[in-house]
Amino acid sequence: MKFSNRLAMLVSIGLLNSAGLAIAAPDLLWLSDTAPKKSKPVATHNHASGSEDAVMSGDEADTIHTSVKHLWVRQGDELAKAAYLGNDVFPSALAMLDAKGKRSEAQQSPQNGTAHVKLEYQEMGFNNAYARRELLAGQTLRVQVAKAEVLKGSCCEREVAPEQLKAFSDAEQPLEIVRERMEKEKLFTRIVSGDVIKFTVLSKGQPATGVPVVMMTQQGWQKKSVSNEEGKVEFTMIRDYFPSWDDFRRRTKETFVVSAELEKPESGVFQGQKYNAVRYEATLSGKYAPSPYDYKSYSFGLGIAVFVLAFGGLGVYLYRRRRVKPFQEIRFEEKKD
């Protein structure tokens, strides 16, 4: 690890301890469904590095409809530049959980040296994927659990079992963030800027109260909050996509990551070293898109319809009036012989 990054990490951990609030760490672990650019460097050790994210181009492939899903393990709290971990750094399989409670493991299929998992689904609905890593930082054991919701969705299918739409959690995870479904959310609903999205923080399946939670977006915006007595916390998605109009792409999806931290005074031994506290760090990643209100106009739409209606009606009226022939009485004079 570079000295500057190590220093930044130490500073951030120090701030975290002193302020009692979560601050995203440079080695934040999270899952991404965005493929790295070809030139993207692969992290061969535990620090963040990289370049601009591929999704910024707005050319991201459809990740909802397709049966085949991909996940990469990434690290870093600067989401646009977060590194893709190499499969030598993160060789573990991902734990999978479906809506019916069925567990499985997804083995890695490394792509260009990155830690990568390929998943295939036939059934519609959400599936949870978990990547777990343990690190020792001084006397504290850090247990990082990165989670992603993998959705096989469709705008057309309606015959989906209701449990496939619900948010679900893994009671075995020491700390987990669950995104509550939005009102009327279906299998093709996008999160857009301006949406209020709600999360529940769970520890071993039970609501965790007073846990600091940080929402961070690809453009670098961060907001902190603390879970209430029901473990709930909510954020309004920021509007932070302001390209020039020619570059605007409504299909652009940007990444957000929500992280939560919970420290417990648990002691033990990890890789031969003792620790006297365990800090559980959970992340949940997702995507959000520009709000339709950014590029759709009701006033223009209704204006055009009303214009056509009014002038079309007037045109028909005038056309009909023009064709009305005035009554003309013709009198024939009968000759009287």
Partner 1 sequence: MSFPKLGLKARFDMIDWNRFRFWFQLSLFVLFVYGGYVGIDLGKNLPTFSCGYNTEGRGGMCYLIPLQHQFAWPWEKLFSAAAWTILSGFGLFALWFIALNKGWCGMACPLGTIQDWITSLRRKLGIRYGRYTLDQFRVLSQIKYVLLALMLLIPLGIGAGWFSKDLGSPFCMICPGRMIIPTLTAKFDHWTIDFSTTSKMVMTSLGMIVTGLFFVGAFVKKRFFCFFCPMSALHYLISKPALLTLKKDGDKCTRCGDCYRVCDMEIKEIADDVTNPRIMMDDCTLCMKCVASCPEKGALKANFVGITFFESTENGFIKRMHKGLHCDASKP
Handedness of CA 155, 158, 160, 165 (dihedral sign): positive
Buried b (16+ CB within 10 A) or exposed e, 39-78: ebebbeebbbbbeebbbbebebeebeeeeebbbbbbbbbb
Least distance from partner 1 to the Cβ atom of residue 316, Å: 5
Q: Whose Cβ is closer to partner 1: residue 101's or residue 188's?
A: 188
The sign of the dihedral angle between the CA atoms of 32, 118, 152, 134 is negative
DSSP conformation letters of 86-123: BTTT--PPEEEEETT--EEEE----BTTB-EEEEE--S
Distance CA 100, CA 164 (A): 8
Of the candidate spans 72-80, 96-104, 213-221, 299-307, the one that interacts with partner 1 by CB under 8 A turns out to be 299-307
Query: Which residues on adjacent β-strands are paired with residue 245?
Result: none
242 binds partner 1 (CB under 8 A): no
Q: Which stretch binds partner 1 (CB under 8 A): 14-22, 74-82, 138-146, 305-313?
A: 305-313
Q: State which of residues 118, 134, 312, 318 lies at the interface with partner 1 (CB under 8 A).
A: 312
- Piece of 30-38, 67-75, 77-85, 244-252 that binds partner 1 (CB under 8 A): 244-252
Asked if 331 is part of the footprint of partner 1 (rule: CB under 8 A), the reply reads no
Residue 214 and residue 23 in contact, taking contact as beta carbons nearer than 8 Å = yes
Determine which residue in the list 228, 249, 270, 277 makes contact with partner 1, applying CB under 8 A: 249
Beta pairing class for 140-152 and 277-288: parallel
Beta carbon nearer to partner 1, 93 or 308? 308
Q: Compute the least distance from the CB of residue 195 to partner 1, in Å.
A: 15
Residue 324 in contact with partner 1, rule: CB under 8 A:
no
Q: Which of 102, 229, 271, 298 binds partner 1 (CB under 8 A)?
A: 298
Binding site for partner 1 (CB under 8 A): 156, 158-159, 184, 186, 248-250, 292, 295-298, 300-302, 304-309, 312-313, 316
